[in-house]
Amino acid sequence: MKDMGYGVFTQEQTDAIFKKYDRNTDNVIDFLEFLDMVQTIKGSGKDFGKIGEHAKGDAAIIEGAVGASHTYLVEERNVVARLWNKYLEDDEYVKDRFPMVAESDDLFHVMADGMVLIRLLNEIEKDSIDMRTVNIGTNLGIFKVRENINLGLTAAKGKIKLIGIDATAFLDKKPHLVLAVCW
């Protein structure tokens, strides 16, 4: 956890994390459980970007791996979050995630497993994704989550062009790519 940029955890916090990811409840974090835990945790507590001034308002700047950077307007993120709050607050599958705080990075965390994307597509066009094919549950493994994201992206491709956006964009919570799909 320290290597991923987190501080010291209390024993209660550590116990809660292990309880969440110990899916078979054998009090041991197996390798697949560990991979799932690291994938989820590695981006969840980090600052997505510095807030800087932009010609049209505050912009978040995300630094890339090789010196590249991406930006998005903070107001864009806020508008999308408010819209999703409005349309999905009573949805039977994802209502536990709403309302999210529009002025935070909650949007990227809520979208990370593909379920909100699936429900949004069904909101746009009823039954565009058969919910019997969706992996439903609170502690899905990384492979099941990836299946859900791919299911949502495949359905979205019938409506919009998605070039260079795949499940990794959602799993890594890349704000500029998640917002591109949302718009």
Both 60 and 133 in a single domain?
yes
Confidence of residue 176 (pLDDT cuts 50, 70, 90): confident
Q: What is the pLDDT of residue 28?
A: 84
Residue 111 in domain: yes
> Residue 138 pLDDT more than 60?
yes
Q: Is there a single domain that holds both residue 15 and residue 80?
A: no
Between residues 20 and 68, which one has the greater pLDDT? 20
Predicted confidence (pLDDT) at residue 50 exceeds the cutoff of 60:
no
Structurally, the chain folds into a number of domains equal to 2
Q: Binning pLDDT at 50, 70 and 90, where does residue 64 land?
A: low
Q: According to the model, what pLDDT value does residue 36 have? A: 75
Classify strands 57-63 and 50-54 as parallel, antiparallel or unpaired: antiparallel
18 and 108, same domain (yes or no): no
C-alpha span between 171 and 140 (Å, rounded): 13
Predicted pLDDT of residue 65: 61
In a domain, 2, yes or no: no
In the prediction, which pLDDT does 7 show? 63
What number of other Cβ atoms are within 10 A of residue 98's Cβ? 18
Based on the domain organization, do 79 and 121 belong to the same domain? yes
Please give the average per-residue pLDDT across 89-99, as a whole number: 90
Give the pLDDT of residue 88.
Answer: 92
CA distance 84 to 155: 18
Residues 97 and 57 both lie in one domain: yes
Please indicate, yes or no, if residue 56 is contained in any of the structural domains: yes
Average pLDDT over residues 121-150: 90
| Mean pLDDT over the full length of the chain | 81
Question: Are residues 137 and 62 both part of a single domain?
Answer: yes
Q: What is the pLDDT of residue 8?
A: 67
How many of the other CB atoms lie within 10 Å of CB of 47? 10
pLDDT at 42 over 80: no
Whether residue 40 is found in the same domain as residue 54: no
Based on the fold, state whether residues 40 and 55 are members of the same structural domain: no
Give the global pTM.
Answer: 0.64
Q: What percent of the chain has pLDDT above 90?
A: 26
Q: Which two tokens stand for residue 27?
A: 């009090």
Is 1 among the domain residues?
Answer: no
What average pLDDT does this structure show over 169-180?
A: 89
| pLDDT value of residue 53 | 46
* Residue whose token pair is 């590695």: 42
- What is the residue range of 161's domain? 50-182
